[in-house]
Amino acid sequence: MNSAFSFEVIKTCARTGARAGVLHTPHGDIPTPIYMPVGTQAVVKAMTSEEMKGLEAMIILSNTYHLHLRPGEAIVEKAGGLHRFMDWDRPILTDSGGYQVFSLEGLRKIREEGVYFRSHLDGRALFMGPEESMKIQQALGSDIAMAFDVCSPYPCDYETAKANMERTHRWAERCKKAHTRPDQALFGIVQGAFEKDLRIESVKALKEMDFVGYGIGGLSVGEPKELMYGMLDAMQPYYDEHKPRYLMGVGTPDCLIEGVARGIDMFDCVLATRIARNGTLLTRKGRMVIKNKQYEEDFTPVDPDCDCYACTHHTRAYLRHLFKAGEITGPRLASIHNLRYLIRLMQEVRQAILEDRLPEYREAFYRDFDMTRAFNRGDA
157 and 104 co-located in one domain: yes
**Domain final residue pick, 244, 269, 294:** 269
29 catalytic? Reply is: no
Per-residue confidence (pLDDT) for residue 373, from 0 to 100: 78
Q: Is residue 380 part of a domain?
A: no
Name the pLDDT band for 376 (thresholds 50, 70, 90). Answer: low
* CATH number of the CATH domain containing 264: 3.20.20.105
The range of the structural domain enclosing residue 290 comes to: 276-371
The string of pLDDT tens digits covering residues 124-140 is 999 999 999 999 999 99
Same domain, 122 and 203: yes
Looking at the structure, tell me whether residues 298 and 169 fall in a common domain: no
For residues 157 and 193, state if they share a domain: yes
Q: How many domains does the chain have?
A: 2
Among 60-69, 102-111, 291-300, 329-338, the minimum mean pLDDT is found in: 102-111
Q: Do residues 192 and 250 share a domain?
A: yes
pLDDT-derived band at 161, boundaries 50, 70, 90:
very high
Residues 40 and 185 in one domain: yes
pLDDT tens, position by position, 186-196? 999 999 999 99
Q: Is the pLDDT of residue 380 over 50?
A: no
Instruction: Identify the active-site residue in 95, 143, 149, 303.
Output: 95
Residues 245 and 306 occupy one common structural domain: no
The answer as to whether 377 is a domain residue is no
Q: Is 183 a catalytic residue?
A: no
Q: What is the pLDDT of residues 301-310, one digit of tens each?
A: 999 999 999 9
Q: Is residue 154 part of a domain?
A: yes
The one-letter amino acid code at 129 reads G
Are the beta carbons of 178 and 134 closer than 8 angstroms? yes
**Which residue out of 143, 149, 265, 268 is catalytically annotated?**
268
Q: Residue 321: what residue type?
A: H
Of 238, 269, 300, the domain-final residue: 269
Axis-axis angle for helices 253-261, 329-354 (nearest 10): 20
Q: Look at residues 303, 264, 296, 313 and name the one whose alpha carbon lies nearest to residue 281.
A: 303
Q: Are both 154 and 289 inside the same structural domain?
A: no
